[in-house]
Structure formats: structure tokens, C-alpha cells
A and B are shown apart, each in its own frame.
Chain A
């Protein structure tokens, strides 16, 4: 039943909500706007909001001064690669935990989650030394494997919550109709599992894209994704606001768009199905 709402109330809340939302979004908006300014306009006082000479030169400059697209490509390879690799291990595990739960399955899932609680600082040194001695430092394959290990618990948990919602009776019905195991997987289970796998993929690509402990410590240049590349703007280039903004905008735009699409899955994915 819809409750009647007075106009004043509706307007008050609308204005309040828009105000708060714009305030929260403002740093991002400001970064995007600044990326189209000249360096002089970027630090003009009073600040110029919309009325300045819009220019694309910063975007050209970022690429010409640094191999921006290589870092972008690294980000894509590392985030997608680590997620696909994680799915490879997590799908069978989540599958069997959802459909063949043993007595200890719940404990096992809790334990997996608890590995996320281990602070990176506790394992940074051996990982760094191992990577250094085996030549994995600043390689894509090295950082991809580490990010896979970090996100494996989340990937498994997410898939588990999705798989558990596939009704077991459907399998039995298919079996009664004489479907072989292969057909059962191909025609019955796969179509029902694909949406869950897709949302898991999406969310974990976002998490891996933004991961900024291991990428900062284990990559420097060749394999450096955007997180590390942007960190190099810390000084002194950081003082060039327009270029910093252009590089930042390019680094966040793809994931921001993906993120907006995955809002709904985000909630259930990150809360392990506890909040839907």
C-alpha cells in the first residue's frame, strides 16, 4: 500500500538527498572537470567551474609523457586474468559445497573468509623476497596470481550463495527424464549458474582493478597497473592538476561505469548473501 506523502515532505527530502549526493560525488565531478582545463585554469583562484576553455590536451599529454595505455592494458589483464583464474578454482569448489554439503562445509567457508582477515603486512616480506629471488617482481603473471589468491575466498563465497539458490529438485527431475550427467550440466545447470558467475566476475574485476597494496609493492613499471601508475603522480607531477585529473579520469572511468551496472549484485556479493 502506498502511503500518501505531502508535497512539502517530498520536496524537502528530494532537495536534501540531491544536496548530499552531489556533495559526495563532487570530488569526482571536480576531477573530471579539471581534466579538461589548462594547467593555469586548473589552479585559478577563484576556481572556474564550467566557464573555461575546454581542452583535450591533457589527455594527449598523459599518453605522450608515459606509456599510459600499457598501464591500462596491465590493469585489464591483471584484473580480468586474476578473476578468471579464481573462477577456475572456485566454481568446482562452490559447486560441490552448494550441492554436496558436508558436515564441515559451513566451517570451511568461514575458514576461507578468515584468510581474508590476515593482514597483508604479515606476509609482505616473504612474498617480496620470494618474488625477487624468482624474478617474479614486476611481472604480470606474479601479481595476477597474488590477486587471485586474495580474492579467492570472496569469489568462492559469492558463487556459493548463488549456486545454493538453484533448486536441487530440478536436477532430480532432469535425471528422472533420463538426462546424462553431461547433458544435465550443459542444459540444466549451466544456464541457471551463468548469471551468478557473471556477477561474481564483474564484482571481482572491480575489486582487483582497485587493489592497491600488492600492486604497489610488487610492481614498479613494466607490469604496473593504473594504481601504481597514478601513485607515481604523487610528486612532483601531482602539482600539475589538469594532467593528474586526466590520468585519474581515464583510470576510474571504465570501472565507474562497470560499477554502476553492478550495484545490485554488489550488495549481495559483498555481504555474502546476507543482505539482498
Chain B
């Protein structure tokens, strides 16, 4: 039983972290909220004034916003589908008796450790470049027209690059979960003559559900804020074709100096993330108990 003294000590030990995180959440967020109701441009200092909901009206009626919103969700969903789907397949493959499994694992996990600016630049220049890229060479070698990926399919290219970074993560976690599957249960199912598909849907998938949930949660946290990959490949373009909400706020604030408008965008991004978060936390709360 904890004594009163111990309880006080425990609170004292937790307090610094909690206060730090609370401050980190509340102070900047309150400032963003405040700016979002101001007319505030860095190019005209001293002209700040309260303008009510104007920034929000402007931002919400801007076609760029809806495109950025759609792109944000497309990036999250696209990458999740590729990495979770591909991750399950790869985990099943790696769980088979293969030779040199250790090395295969090491090769496969590598992209997760590559910093986003490096992977984006390598893909952009050395693979997707329509003149000197490897893909262009492959296309020419088979007699096809080289594709300018980042100009013609900017969003899909970015989804591809980000998925390459996150596929190893999903694979590794799903593989770890898969290896804890009870092999006796599998053998029993085999003896009962269960088909491979039946084993997968009735034994493997339920066993993986917890790991899949965790993968979705962690990836979503990072995917809602994809930034570096967009900055160094397309700068959000052409037009707004590959701009997500994070990048839109960045460009509105630091490239166009419109603090008020960007802040309204930031608040909208927070609201969107909260909706996703509530949804996710429910899901995770259920599976993690």
C-alpha cells in the first residue's frame, strides 16, 4: 500500500513531464488560435487587427484548402493500404523457413532508418528523373516513353516514396507478432484439413489484429504530417497537386508571410487530427486492453 508520503513523491516525479507537455500543447496552440482571428502579415508589421472569422472564411473557400485536405487523407490512406497490405504479405513470406533470414530482415528494415530528405532526394533524382533516372532508362530499354513521375503523378509518387519508408516498419512489427502465433494451433487446424485461406482468416488475421492496430496508429501520427518528402520533391506542385495540409500551412506562413491565414489553416489541421485521433484512440483502447 502506498503511503501518503510516497504518493506525494510520485506526483512530484511525474509533474515535470506533464507540465512540459501541457505547456508545449497549450501555449503555441493558444497563440495559433489567437493569430487565426487576426489580420497579421509579416510583411506589414504593426498592422495587426482583430478580424473575426475572416481568415477561416477565406481559407475554407480557397480551392487549395480542399485539395490539400483531400491530399492529406489520400496520403494517409494510400500509404496505410500499401504498408499494411504489403506488410502482411511480407511478414507471411519472412515467417517461412528461408535461408539467411537474418540478412533478409536486415536488408528489408533498412529504409526505415533513412532520413526523409535523403530518401526523397534519392528517389527524385536517381530514380524518377525523366532524363537520367533509372526508371527512365528502364522505360527506354523496353522501348517506352520515360515518365516524368513527379510532374505527371506527383501525389502518387510521394505516396510511393513514403510507403517505401514505412513498409519495413509494418513488416517488422507484423512479423514479430506472427512469430508469437501458437504453432500447435496451426498444426491442429492443418490436421482438421483447414485450407490455407481458412487458416489465414480464422487464425492468423485475428492474431495479428492487435499489431495491425498499432501499426495504423503509429503510421497515422506520422503520415498526417508528411512534410520533408513534399518540400524536396515537388514543393507541393504542380499547382497544389501534391500539397497536403501541413505543407499548405507552411507555405502560407513562411513563404507568403500570411500568419493569420496560415494560423486558421493550422487550427483546421488540429481539428482534423483530433477527429482522426478520437477514432484511433477508441480503436486502440479496445485492442490494447
Contacts and interface: CB of A to CB of B under 8 A. Distances in A.
Contacts of B224: 117, 119
Interface residues of A, number: 93
B245 interface: yes
B20 interface: yes
Contact of B21 (A5, A13, A31, A149): A149
Nearest to B114: A252
Contacts of A171: none
B43 interface: no
Contact of B32 (A125, A149, A244, A267): A125
Given A13-B96, A14-B100, A100 B114 contact: no
Interface string B82-112: 0000000010011011111101111111111
Interface string A1-32: 10101000110011011101110110110110
A93 B17 contact: yes
Interface string A232-273: 011000110100110010011001101110010011001110
Contact of A17 (B35, B96, B164): B96
A257 to B, nearest CB: 9
A41 to B, nearest CB: 12
Contacts of A122: 28-29, 32, 266-267, 269-270, 273
A47 B114 CA distance: 23
Interface in A97-152: 97, 100, 102, 108, 110, 112, 114-130, 149, 152
A43 interface: yes
Interface of B is mostly: helix
Contact of A125 (B124, B266, B272): B266
Interface of A is mostly: helix
B196 interface: no
A212 B250 CA distance: 13
A23 B115 CA distance: 19
10 contacts: A17-B101, A24-B168, A25-B108, A28-B111, A117-B274, A121-B245, A121-B265, A124-B250, A210-B116, A274-B214
Interface of A: 1, 3, 5, 9-10, 13-14, 16-18, 20-22, 24-25, 27-28, 30-31, 34, 43, 45-47, 89-90, 92-93, 95-97, 100, 102, 108, 110, 112, 114-130, 149, 152-153, 156, 206, 209-210, 212-213, 216-217, 226-228, 230-231, 233-234, 238-239, 241, 244-245, 248, 251-252, 255-256, 258-260, 263, 266-267, 270-272, 274-276
